[in-house]
Chains A and B, each alone.
Chain A
Amino acid sequence: MGLKLAGVMMILMLAMGGVVYWYYNDTQEKMAILHQNNAKLEQATKLQNETIKQLEGDVELAASIASGLQANVLELKKNIDAERNKFNKQSKLLGSRDIGKMAVSKARPIEKIINRGTIDKMRCFEIISGSKLTEKEINAQKPSQLNRSCPGIANPNRVQ
């Protein structure tokens, strides 16, 4: 009787042990998957944060380029006023400059100045459209060597 009971108990214990073993394995597997899921989610969140940082960097870069361009545009607009001032220059010694009066009194020199100015201006258009600078233009430093219409573009080594 006692032996039978021991046998039944043994079978029961083995069955229980099997169930516990299965339960342990199953839980461990689930825990491992959850760990992996957690790691993946952490990685995804990290990636998202880095992407956001990257986008913020792009926005900053765009803003800095735009502000640089804005400054250049403002600088360029000064050229228009400078051109207008060439015709209406006021001097304490000579009074106001009038190209019409100068053309009446000194037609030939004014003609030369106008032709030189036209050549310079046309060269500016060519340079802006992509024409490469000549050695003479690159090496120009003195005011007499400069392109007076657009020294900023045509003469990078000018003395300022």
Chain B
Amino acid sequence: MLILTGCSSVKPIEVKYSPVKQVQLNLPKVEELKLDPVDWYVVNQGNQEKVFKRLEKKNYDPALMGLTDKGYENLSVNLTKILTVMEQQRLTIEAYDKYQKRQADTIEQFNDDQTEKQKQATAQGAKKDETGVLGRFKFW
């Protein structure tokens, strides 16, 4: 038995922890839109002369780029569609931002907890080792 146990050796295992670190992404802010004003003129068979006189007063060239009522409706709906997509993208970016921030906080908290636990575990292990050979003979 002495030979058998004497030859065997027990090695202490080493558990390695590597805290997860989140890489920060710092992007430049999106440039704010500053749109130029657009004036609409409604022209029909009855008011065309009045409208052209108004253009003359404002020193505009007597020419208008036209849209039918259906065309105007479509343009308006198209702008709303673009607006909706822009808003969706803004919300998506906000969601990513929210997720990243909350995850970063959680990871930091988790890593802190684990470091603390590891310290406590190491301290406990050291205390156990302090018991010497004679200490083991103690039966009280």
Binding site for B on A (CB under 8 A): 19, 23, 25-28, 30, 32-37, 39-41, 43-44, 47, 50-51, 54, 57-58, 61-62, 65-66, 68-69, 72-73, 76-77, 79-80, 83-84, 86-87, 98-100, 103-104, 107-108, 110-111, 114-115, 117-119, 121-122, 124-126, 128-131, 149-150, 153
Contacts and interface: CB of A to CB of B under 8 A. Distances in A.
B76 A83 contact: yes
Contacts of A33: 10-12
Contacts, number: 158
A32 B128 contact: yes
Contacts of A117: 76
Given A40-B14, A43-B118, 12 more contacts: A32-B128, A33-B12, A34-B10, A36-B125, A36-B128, A43-B121, A69-B92, A73-B88, A83-B80, A126-B35, A130-B30, A130-B32
Given A118-B38, A126-B32, A39 B95 contact: no
A77 B88 CA distance: 10
A104 B38 contact: no
A130 B95 CA distance: 16
18 contacts: A33-B12, A35-B128, A36-B125, A37-B12, A40-B14, A43-B121, A69-B92, A72-B88, A79-B80, A87-B73, A103-B69, A107-B44, A114-B42, A115-B39, A121-B83, A122-B35, A128-B86, A131-B32
A132 to B, nearest CB: 9
B136 interface: yes
A88 to B, nearest CB: 8
Interface residues of B, number: 65
Interface of B: 2, 5-6, 8, 10-15, 17, 29-35, 37-47, 68-70, 72-73, 76-77, 79-81, 83-84, 86-88, 90-92, 95, 98-99, 102-103, 106-107, 110, 114, 117-118, 121, 124-125, 128-129, 133, 136
Nearest to B99: A65
